[in-house]
Amino acid sequence: MELFVRFDRHGKILSVGKVEQMHESLDHPHGGLAEGDSVLKIRPTAEQAALDAHEIAVQYSVDVKKRKLHKKRPPRGGA
């Protein structure tokens, strides 16, 4: 399996695709991209593979310079 993570220029994840097989003519499963958007293709860790796509989008961001997924820190404080 591979993850295709669509993100904006700030590293915010816009969508995630978990792909087992994809036609070789496609670069990624996200279709057309808006200006400033990119797609990161990675092999997920076991932890990432166990998450649903929407959970990855909530729990991770993209380090744009390094082109790597980065786990977000939980918010500080509480009610």
Q: pLDDT value at position 29?
A: 64
Question: CA 3, CA 20: separation in Å to the nearest integer?
Answer: 9
pTM, 2 dp: 0.79
Q: pLDDT value at position 79?
A: 54
Q: pLDDT value at position 74?
A: 78
Q: pLDDT value at position 26?
A: 58
Q: pLDDT value at position 77?
A: 67
Is the Cβ–Cβ distance between 27 and 36 less than 8 Å? no
Residues in the chain predicted with pLDDT less than 70, given as ranges, are 20-23, 25-31, 77-79
